[in-house]
């Protein structure tokens, strides 16, 4: 693993370097594996392809993810927990200010803790997709993309390979199941343009020999609460069919993490609101790649928590959870992606619940 200063010597513009150094000064703890991304243009074509695995081991990429944030003291605590981890980037999984007109305040809160050059990467939640409680376009202006080679529409539907050269992970962010300004959801139905875009992005990662795929979106399908499968059963099964390693969501203000859910002759498709033991791939915290997709809801970024419904019919799919009525905890998921393993850990900012799982390949 490279040291913070060591990796900061990579080629990058002065501004980004200064900001990253500022982040390093702000964050005093030595946890995590800092790996600032190299700089680049905010859009374009992802060009990363992996060298053969015989090359020397590469340091893991560490990123953080959480959603449902707000502008209160708990949101700030979570941001401070993120800063201590010193991730290469953060995935903000939607629902930012919860109030119109506070976009700049939200952005200032983020940059005040993480620095102005830090890749705090957005995908919209339902509170800002339709402009009702803030506007995703405004958030995207004050927290712009900082990942080189990002493809697609930042804030709504995009992917990026990290690191850009010799990537370890393709991160794909999508926005099914939430309404936009015209009052309509985007079409992620089977065979739609957005369905194909997502499938192509995931196939492209395999073609480029990128070891891991992570998908992020605001809404969960499976959940321990009152929500229906908002992204749609078909789209969720597409992610499982494509063997996405990890799906990150918010929306429900819980931490809720599944076992690996996978297809098999006895489980041709997962059905929302039902539990089938046949759809469990790997279970628990020590998992092998390819046996299914782990879905992790991380809606614990700062705004008030929801209750966990432990009697939910989908409960059998879940390995770990916390919420208002069960070990209430705010915090962030920390994901470390290496050539041979993906390890995710819930890092609490307030509360004491933790969860760690590892997928090896």
State the residues that interact with Fe ion by CB under 5 A. Answer: 68, 95
How far apart CA 123 and CA 159 sit, in angstroms, is 11
In the complex, minimum distance from the CB of residue 223 to Fe ion, in angstroms, rounded to a whole number: 12
Min dist CB 95 to Fe ion, Å, is 3
Residue nearest to Fe ion (CB): 95
Angle 195-167-161 from CA coordinates, rounded to 5°: 35
> Measured from the CB atom, is 212 or 321 closer to Fe ion?
321
What b-and-e string marks burial along 197-230, b requiring 16 or more CB atoms within 10 Å of the CB?
bbeebbebbeeeebbbbbbbbbbbbbbbbebebb
- Tell me the DSSP string of 54-95: TSPP-PPEEEEEE----SSHHHHHHHHHHHHH--SEEEE-S-
- As measured in angstroms, the least distance from the Cβ of 236 to Fe ion is 19
- The pair of structure tokens assigned to 116 is 């102005």
Question: Tokens 């401070």 — which residue?
Answer: 80
Q: Which is nearer to Fe ion, 95 or 161 (CB)?
A: 95
Question: By three-state DSSP, how is residue 13 classified?
Answer: coil
Is the Cβ of residue 68 or residue 312 nearer to Fe ion in the bound state? 68
Between 95 and 320, whose beta carbon lies closer to Fe ion? Answer: 95
Choose between 93 and 168: whose C-beta lies nearer to Fe ion: 93
Nearer to Fe ion, 117 or 250 (CB): 250
Q: Whole-number minimum distance, CB 303 to Fe ion, in Å?
A: 6
Report, in Å, the least distance between residue 340 CB and Fe ion: 35
Query: Between 68 and 103, whose beta carbon lies closer to Fe ion?
Result: 68
Closer residue to Fe ion, CB minimum distance, 257 or 306: 306
To 10 degrees, what angle do helices 73-85 and 103-114 make? Answer: 40
- Contact criterion met (CB below 8 Å) for 123 and 94: yes
Measure Cα distances from 143 to 85, 118, 122, 151, 304 in Å: 20, 9, 8, 17, 23
In whole angstroms, how close is the CB of 307 to Fe ion at the nearest point?
A: 14
Could you give the C-alpha distances from 95 to 45, 68, 131, 300, 306, in angstroms and in order? 28, 5, 11, 11, 14
Tell me the Cα Rg of the chain. Answer: 19
Q: How far is the CB of 127 from Fe ion (least distance, A)?
A: 6
CB of 253 to Fe ion, least distance (A): 6
Q: State the greatest distance between any 2 C-alpha atoms of the chain, in Å, as a whole number.
A: 55
CB closer to Fe ion out of 68 and 355: 68
Cβ of residue 301: shortest distance to Fe ion, in angstroms?
A: 9
Q: Nearest-CA neighbor of 147 among 248, 42, 64?
A: 42
> Is the distance from CB of 337 to CB of 168 less than 8 angstroms?
yes
Class of residue 333 by CB neighbours under 10 A (exposed 0-12, middle 13-18, buried 19+) = buried
Which helix (DSSP H) or strand (DSSP E) does residue 194 occupy?
helix 193-207
């Amino acid at each position: 693993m490279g040291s913070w200063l060591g990796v900061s010597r990579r080629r990058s513009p002065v501004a980004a370097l200064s900001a990253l150094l500022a982040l390093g000064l702000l964050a005093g703890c030595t946890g995590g594996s800092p790996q600032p991304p190299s700089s680049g243009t905010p859009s374009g074509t992802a060009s990363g392809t992996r060298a053969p695995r015989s090359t020397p081991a590469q340091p893991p990429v560490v990123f953080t993810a959480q959603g449902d944030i707000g502008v209160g003291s708990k949101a700030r605590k979570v941001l401070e927990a993120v800063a201590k981890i010193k991730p290469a980037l953060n995935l903000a999984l939607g629902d930012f200010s919860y109030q119109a007109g506070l976009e700049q305040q939200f952005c200032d809160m983020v940059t005040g803790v993480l620095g102005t050059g830090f890749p705090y990467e957005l995908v919209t939640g339902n509170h800002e997709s339709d402009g009702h409680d803030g506007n995703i376009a405004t958030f995207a202006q004050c927290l712009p993309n900082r990942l080189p080679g990002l493809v697609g529409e930042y804030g709504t539907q995009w992917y990026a390979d990290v690191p850009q050269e010799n990537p370890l992970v393709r991160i794909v962010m999508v926005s099914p199941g939430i309404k936009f300004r015209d009052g309509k959801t985007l079409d992620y139905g089977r065979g739609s343009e957005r369905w194909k875009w997502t499938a192509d992005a995931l196939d492209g990662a395999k073609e480029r020999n990128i070891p891991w795929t992570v998908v992020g979106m605001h809404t969960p399908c499976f959940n321990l609460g009152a929500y229906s499968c908002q992204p749609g059963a078909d789209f969720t099964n597409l992610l499982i069919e494509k063997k996405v390693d990890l799906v990150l969501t918010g929306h429900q203000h819980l931490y809720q993490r599944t076992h690996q859910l996978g297809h098999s002759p006895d489980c041709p498709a997962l059905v929302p609101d039902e539990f089938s033991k046949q759809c469990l791939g790997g279970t628990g915290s020590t998992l092998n790649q390819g046996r299914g997709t782990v879905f992790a809801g991380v809606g614990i970024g700062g705004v008030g928590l929801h209750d966990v419904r432990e009697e939910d019919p989908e409960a059998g799919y879940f390995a770990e959870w916390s919420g208002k009525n069960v070990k209430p905890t705010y915090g962030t998921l920390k994901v470390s992606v290496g050539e041979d393993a993906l390890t995710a850990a819930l890092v609490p900012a307030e509360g004491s619940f933790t969860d760690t799982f590892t997928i090896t390949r």
